[in-house]
Structure formats: C-alpha cells, structure tokens
Amino acid sequence: FKLNEIHSYFKETAEAENQDRKRRKPFSCVKSQLTQHMRIHTGEKPFSCETCGKCFHRKQLFTQHIAIHTGEKPFMCVTCERRFASRSTLDVHMRTHTGEKPFSCGTCGKCFTVKHSLDVHMRTHTGEKPFSCGTCGKSFCDKRTLTCHVVIHTGKKPFLCVNCKKCFREESQLTQHMIIHTGEKPFSCETCGKCFHRKPLLTQHIGIHKGEKPFMCVTCERRFALRSTLSVHMRTHTGEKPFSCGTCGKSFPQRRNLTDHMRTHTGEKPFLCVTCGQGFCKKQSLTDHMKIHTGDKPFSCVSCGKRFRLKSFLTQHMTIHTGEKPFSCVNCGKCFRQKAQLTKHVTIHTGEKPFVCGMCEKRFVLKCFLNAHMTTHTDEKPFSCETCGKCFSRKHVLTKHMMIHAGAKPFVCVICGKCFRLKHHINWHMRSHTGEKP
C-alpha cells in the first residue's frame, strides 16, 4: 500500500513539473523580447520596407506595414464585414460595435477606445503641446492637428467635391461636406429627436439639454460646452485672427467670418428674404432684415423708451442721452457719435469720393448717397406715405412730408415766434429780420 502511495506521489509531482515547464517561456523567447525592448532606447530599426523605405524596430510592425502596399487584409469584422491588415486593428475596431472604452482618464473620468486617444487627451490637462509648426511656431497637442494646420500655410486643398467643385484640405472635411448634397442627417438627439449631419453638432446640441459647460475661460471665467468654442472665444482676449482673406488681406478670428467676408468679393448672396426677395451675404444679416417685415424691435432705450431692431442701433442712440462722441477726426479733432458720421467727415479733408454712378459717373462720399442717387435714373420711389399714398425716392423727404399730416412745426423763430415745418423755411424767414439778400 505504501509503495502505491509513493508511486502516485512521484507521478503527480512529475506531471506538475511538466505543466510548469510548458507554461514557462524558453530562455530564447525571453531574450528575443529583451532585444526588441532595448531597441526603444537605442533607436535601432533593423526592419526596413523596400517599397517606401520606412523602418521599424519590431518585425510584427514591419509585417503589418507591408500589408499597406500589398493591400492584403486577412482579418474581417463579423458584424460589418470590414477588413483589416492586422488583428490588433480589428480588435480596436470591434470596440465601435461593443461600445467598450477600456482607457479612462484619471482626472476627468472620460473614456477612450484606444490608448493613443487617452495620451492625447491627457495633454488637455497637462497643457503639453509637443508638436509645433515650423512656419509660425504655433503648438498643438497631437500630430494630426499640426498636419491640418500646416496646410493653412501651403494653401493646398487636394480634396474636390464633384457636385459644387469646392475644395477641402482634409478628406474628412469633404466627407462631411458631401452630406450637404445628400441631405443625410445620421446623428439624432435622443431627447428631442432633432437630427444633425455632423456628430460635433449633435454633441454641442446635447449640451443644451444637459446644461453642461465644463470648459472655462481663465481670463473672464465664462464657461462653454465645447473646447473648440472656448478656443474661438480665447481669440477675443489674445486678438488672434488666423484666417486671412487672400484678396484684400483682412483677417478674422473664425473661419465662418472669412467665408462670409469672401462673398463681398464674389458677390454671392445665398440668403434670400422670402418676403421681398432681397439677398444677403450672411445669415445674421437676413435675420436682422426680417425684423423690418415683422416689425420686431426687441431693444428699447431705458431713457426715452424708443425701440430698435438691432442692438447696434440702440448703442448709437444711447450716445444722444450720454452726449458721448467716441469717434474723433485725426485731422481737426472734431468728434462724432457714429463711425459713419466720422467716415463722411474725413472725406472733407481727403476730398475722396469712392462711389461712382455707373450711368452718369457722378461721385459720392458714401454708398448710401449713391443708392439714393440711383433712384433719379430708375424713377424708383420706394418710400410711400401711409396717409395719402404719395411716394418719394428718399426717406428723409418722406419724413418731411409726414409733418404736413401731423401739423408739426418744430422750428420756431426766436424773434417773432413764428413756427415752420422745415429748417430751411426758417432760414429763409430769418432773412426778413436780418435784411440779408442772398
């Protein structure tokens, strides 16, 4: 019996050692891994591609790279049947279906599908920007953003839309643009059902429901839902205007500002008023114009109660009450309430009249004067009296005419007390007292 126990003991011990031997890697395997690891420190890259000359420190990375040239993609996703050159790339892709995000930020808790995305994200907390532009010196968190930025200096736009011939710097921009032509809006809000053609627009919209504004401006402490919105806002403090017009050289803080500006050179007016058909370069201009038809005047003066369509009109009006004249002439020092008044005044010194009538070649100081003059050629009379229906070519003439119906005579002679509707009427009357004979 004891011999059987001894025999069984040695048998079990031998089997355990055999299993342990199988689990342990041979010394040659461990040595190979150490050799590969040391190349990280030495910078040695013994595996080079004969096609493009790119070098690698591991044979596995070299094998994966070769598949780019051969086009071989042996690994297929069982869900969407998309194919990949390496198993590791397939594993990462599968997370788009499973929703798995194994890499999480220890600072804010945000999760990512790949470690590289986490590494780039961590730089938003550390402020590290290791990739700098050799032309302007601007730094970026990741290499891809630097690559996109460099194209601004080169001006290259290799990706062309076959529908409208518009060009783009990146393929992703072209892909996003194509949705405009197809009308596809694949990203929908689960809360209100609103759809968007770009995921960033959906993300920005969701912030409205959540009320989340995690990004704060360190200068004025204003908060924003997106980092990109914060980046644009920071330019109001730094004065940075990275987008410049190739025609006139004017610079802008946002790309959409430049896009709107370019229409002043091309003459394009894509935003049309459905009521009168007038076209505008900017959507905001159309929104402001629509208040003419609706009669909406949301901005009111706290001093006199007068209401205005635009905030800029109210700001100009307030200077009447405050007496402020912030615009001064550098030639004579005369001050004005509005910039347009200063612009008009400066032409007295320069004698410049840049606006020319195409029919009679008469020149004008301001564009509004030219527009008013053009009605003399077209016989257009867009300003009509609501009381008697009489029409006028200029608004100020209509304003004077309205005094007839109102009975208003605001101009009073200081000598005899007689009242007049118009200023030039009282000027003529004053000559009867002074004896002036022009």
pTM (two decimals): 0.38
- 3-state SS, one letter per residue, for 182-212: HCCCCEECCCCCCEECCHHHHHHHHHHHHCC
Amino acid letter for position 280: F
CA distance 372 to 124: 55
Per-residue pLDDT of the chain (438 residues; tens, 9 = 90+): 445 665 666 667 667 666 665 555 454 555 566 777 777 788 788 888 888 888 888 787 787 787 778 777 888 888 888 888 778 888 888 888 888 888 898 888 888 888 888 888 888 888 888 888 888 888 888 887 888 788 778 777 888 888 888 888 777 788 878 877 877 788 888 888 888 877 878 877 887 788 778 788 888 888 887 777 888 888 888 888 888 888 888 888 888 888 888 888 888 888 888 888 888 888 888 888 888 888 888 888 888 888 888 888 888 888 888 888 888 898 898 888 888 788 878 888 888 888 888 888 888 877 777 877 887 887 777 778 888 888 887 777 887 788 778 777 777 787 888 887 777 777 888 878 877 765
CA distance 199 to 195: 10
Q: What is the DSSP letter of 218?
A: T
**C-beta separation of 117 from 124 below 8 A:** no
Strand residue runs (E) in 273-366: 279-280, 299-300, 307-308, 327-328, 335-336, 355-356, 363-364
Among 103, 105, 148, 144, which Cα is nearest to 124's? 105
- 3-state SS, one letter per residue, for 402-422: HHHHHCCCCEECCCCCCEECC
CA angle 221, 225, 228 (to 5 degrees): 90
Domain ranges of the chain: 356-434
Question: For 356-434, CATH number?
Answer: 3.30.160.60
Which tokens in the block code for residue 270? 């894509």
**C-beta separation of 364 from 355 below 8 A:** yes
Residue 336 half-sphere exposure toward CB, CA atoms < 13 A: 14
CA angle 158, 270, 189 (to 5 degrees): 75
CA distance 131 to 123: 12
- DSSP-based three-state secondary structure for 149: helix
Give the alpha-carbon dihedral of 257, 261, 262, 264, to 10 degrees: 160
- DSSP-based three-state secondary structure for 123: helix
